[in-house]
A = this chain, B = another copy of it.
């Protein structure tokens, strides 16, 4: 086969999305000698504009070095192709004799592959390879990028808890996660004992009440003298809207091409600072956002995550040979296995955290949640118990 394989990366970068890109590129080179492997720059935008990097001849050692580097080395995009954009992309793919287009990303990216599949005549294999720190793809036990992000978040909250043992107060950190609370819940993965924070977890799957929040913090302070709180940026108000939507005037809200609300501004943090000042005047309180660090902190990349992401890229090439689809990471007998699943099962859908991961109050892990994180994000550091 001497056609062209196009690889691109979409959505937010992760610590291991380059593993998947390189895993796919090297697999094409192995399976299809003579085929061309092009990396489209900035996702479908690169195809639209004819911007590619030729991955066919780059030395394997250099590609593996890039694989070990966080963020999307090909560049990424949040473009959502409409019909006209789609047509340009399809023409672009045909022009370079594309036999398969492997697009690495989350639910928006898989949605784009579904749109392109529907618009194409079936001559090109469209493959979606999974990537998201949100861990919110249907059909997947977990997604490449999640384990590294979860380790960062677990480490960040272990760090904050130790810090606030030394100098007591209230600590709130906002964690990425638009609709699914997996990453925020990972904050509790490395608690060292029953005293450890995070003491309170708020995820998008449960309605958030500012009054309940202040009561929860007061109760925790009375018990532990400190209070460590993990909040998803996508936490929802009782009327079902994102909390930030209830706090920021409609004309100031920003959305991307997929209609996703910008959740990452400082407004949510300021709202928490304000609520704590009103509800607990005089208390030492600090509100931070972990920001972009979980999705690629160079010092906290999981080797398991790296290997799984690489394998998912290689497997995507096999799926291309079968006409396309979505690559899913599933677990059988305790081991991660790769499966081809229909694109339609994943495209544009959101997998929420299972109800039974949280306790009745919705602010702590229940046994099912604990078991999930013990399996995926086992403790990594030997931590001594402080005297305070």
Assembly stoichiometry (copies): 2
A296 within 8 A of B: yes
State which residues 66-108 of A face B: CB under 8 Å: 66-78
**B386 & A66 in contact (Cβ 8 Å cutoff):** yes
- Min Cβ gap A365→B in Å is 19
A210 at the interface (CB under 8 A from B): no
CB <8 Å contact, A384 and B68: yes
A274 (CB) vs chain B CBs: closest residue: B266
Within 1-26 of A, Cβ neighbours of B (below 8 Å) are at 9, 12-13, 18
* Distance in Å: Cβ of A243 to nearest Cβ of chain B: 16
A244 at the interface (CB under 8 A from B): no
Q: Give the Cβ gap from A256 to chain B, nearest Cβ, in Å.
A: 9
Question: Is the pair A299, B299 in contact by a Cβ cutoff of 8 Å?
Answer: yes
Q: Are A69 and B286 in contact (CB under 8 A)?
A: no
Q: Which chain B residues lie closer than 8 Å to A42 at the CB level?
A: 166, 388
Flag if B286 contacts A292 (CB, 8 Å).
yes
- Could you say which residues of chain B place their CB within 8 Å of the CB of A338? none
Interface size range of chain A in the complex:
35 or more
CB of B299 within 8 A of CB of A292, answer no
Q: Does A62 contact B (CB under 8 A)?
A: yes
Determine whether A339 belongs to the interface, using a CB cutoff of 8 Å to chain B: no
Q: In the complex, which residue of chain B has the Cβ closest to the Cβ of A73?
A: B386
Chain B residues with CB under 8 A of A289: 288-289
Complex contact B13–A163 (CB within 8 A): yes
Structural contact, A293 and B68, CB atoms closer than 8 A? no
User: Could you say which residues of chain B place their CB within 8 Å of the CB of A287?
Assistant: 266
Q: Are A293 and B156 in contact (CB under 8 A)?
A: yes
Q: Do B159 and A76 touch (CB < 8 A)?
A: no
Q: List 20 A-B contacts (CB under 8 A).
A: A9-B166, A12-B167, A13-B162, A13-B167, A42-B166, A53-B387, A62-B384, A67-B384, A69-B383, A71-B163, A71-B386, A72-B386, A73-B166, A73-B384, A75-B387, A156-B297, A265-B273, A286-B292, A298-B381, A299-B381
